[in-house]
Amino acid sequence: MKKQFWKYILPSMITFLVTGIYVSVDGFFVGRTVGDVGLASINVAWPLAALILDIGTGIGMGGSVNISNYMGAGDKKRADKAFGNTLVALLLSSLVITAFLLLFGKPLLRLMGAEGEILTLGSEYIKILACGAVVQVFATGVTPLLRNQNKPMIAMSLMLMNFTIDTVLSGVFVMLLGFGVRGAALATLVGQFITCIPALFILFKKESRIPSSCYKLEKNMLCHIAKVGIPVFGLSFIPSLTILIINRQAVTYGGTTAIAAFAVISYVLSIGQLLLQGVGEGTQPLISFYYGAKNPQAVKTFRKWTYAMAFVIGILATAAIILLRNPIADFFGVSGETARVLQTALPLCALSLPLYAFSRVTTEYFNAVKKSRNAAVMVYGEAFVLLPLAAFILPKIFGINGVWIAVALVQLLLLFTGIFLRIKSRRI
């Protein structure tokens, strides 16, 4: 079992770690060329950019969990149907999100607090990404499908390729050619397009092909995919929703400097958060398979190992951020004023990561065993109850520091929520 555990979890962790670093690449190049206003514009626009990626993640994971469950139960026909419906859902959703962002991207940025140069740069960033939404949705959606085809190393390799291409092109487009924020968006799209080609080739090669009838949308199958995919989408989108809400409060209590500081915090935390998400998603195929195979002992063992791994990583990540807060500010090339804000803000926000480890692994576990209602409570309780309340109440008491405290407090409250739900629904 340990061999299985490491076979799945290590590639997933590396994949998500690289994703976190990959997300931060834009901030590094833009911060050093455009400055605080460039960092602020991408940070304000990021929730809309993440919407594209998270739709792909939600649909891909929704399909992969069902595929694993059907395969564990020995139902190859239904597994193929889930695979075909997932690919069609990825395509249709990408067309919808493209139209939505092209029509409403700029007004939404204005509602999110962007104005002046930040609004102009953010709008350019979103328009470019929206035009390539089909590539982004597929690039994120096929990763869990590859893992569930017993190809975790291939999924990891493709992510590393994407990271390398995007990093090189960001340096060329942003720093050498001076395209600024637009260059960062173009580099993202080109990297994902190149990576998507071999991923689709692998999924559609002869031995992996499924009957054409499996691509015909089936309402019942789409409901099964959505039942798992909606909480997963929410789980992936929560950090971006946090950015949206915190940005609004940051601009109110600290202006552009606070937004730029939170841009750096978002980049740094995203590395830890995605690494922890990689731990949870890495064991999802195993837990889903053994749950479908009705092997509760294996499910318990993999669950225990996943929690232990996540907590250790969360603690180490927090310590690293606190110790390296000065080099982090220098790395992103922020102004002296923004660097001073980060001295306090980074440690306060970093305390959220060990707590985040529990909440994310718990949510991924609920999804893996198809307890989607519990997963939805965790995800949407955070998004629509705990986060708004903490973000709007604490700054009134502690000022700008209340904004940073809210990030950790929400995860603490989620820890208690997760414990309650685990006790209430414990069946295996």
Mean pLDDT split into 10-residue runs, the chain, 428 residues:
78 77 76 82 86 89 84 82 90 93 91 83 92 88 77 77 85 88 90 85 74 84 86 76 81 82 88 86 81 83 90 94 92 86 93 92 83 82 87 91 92 91 72
Tokens encoding 382 = 């955070």
Coil, strand, or helix at residue 403? Answer: helix
Dist. CA 225–CA 148, nearest whole Å:
15
Whole-angstrom CA distances from 74 to 63, 87, 217, 356 are: 16, 22, 22, 35
The type of residue at 367 is: N
- Contact, 170 vs 24, CB < 8 A? no
Supply the pLDDT for residue 427. Answer: 53
The DSSP call for residue 382 is I
Supply the pLDDT for residue 253. Answer: 86
Can you give the residue range of the structural domain that contains 364?
2-424
Among candidate residues 303, 316, 296, the one with its CA nearest the CA of residue 364: 303
Where does residue 422 fall: left (phi above 0), alpha (psi -120 to 50 degrees), or beta otherwise? alpha
Total domains present in the chain:
1
Largest CA distance in the chain: 62
The type of residue at 328 is: I
Q: Which spans in 73-114 are helix H?
A: 76-111
Residue 287's Cβ-side half-sphere holds a number of Cα atoms within 13 Å equal to 28
Dist. CA 163–CA 184, nearest whole Å:
13
The DSSP call for residue 205 is S
Coil, strand, or helix at residue 295? Answer: coil
Dist. CA 118–CA 122, nearest whole Å:
6
Supply the pLDDT for residue 207. Answer: 67
Burial of 249 (0-12, 13-18, 19+ CB in 10 A): buried
Supply the pLDDT for residue 308. Answer: 92
Supply the pLDDT for residue 206. Answer: 67
Among candidate residues 91, 92, 93, 71, the one with its CA nearest the CA of residue 81: 71
Supply the pLDDT for residue 125. Answer: 92
Whole-angstrom CA distances from 355 to 24, 272, 351, 369, 388 are: 22, 12, 8, 22, 18
Residue 166's Cβ-side half-sphere holds a number of Cα atoms within 13 Å equal to 27
Among candidate residues 57, 94, 63, 59, the one with its CA nearest the CA of residue 80: 63
Burial of 76 (0-12, 13-18, 19+ CB in 10 A): exposed
Tokens encoding 168 = 């090189």
Q: Which spans in 283-351 are helix H?
A: 284-292, 296-323, 325-331, 336-350
- Contact, 386 vs 413, CB < 8 A? yes
The C-alpha angle with vertex 390 and arms to 387 and 393, in degrees rounded to 5, equals: 140
Supply the pLDDT for residue 314. Answer: 94
Tokens encoding 181 = 């924020």
- Contact, 54 vs 93, CB < 8 A? no
The C-alpha angle with vertex 179 and arms to 262 and 19, in degrees rounded to 5, equals: 50
Dist. CA 392–CA 395, nearest whole Å:
6
Dist. CA 396–CA 394, nearest whole Å:
5
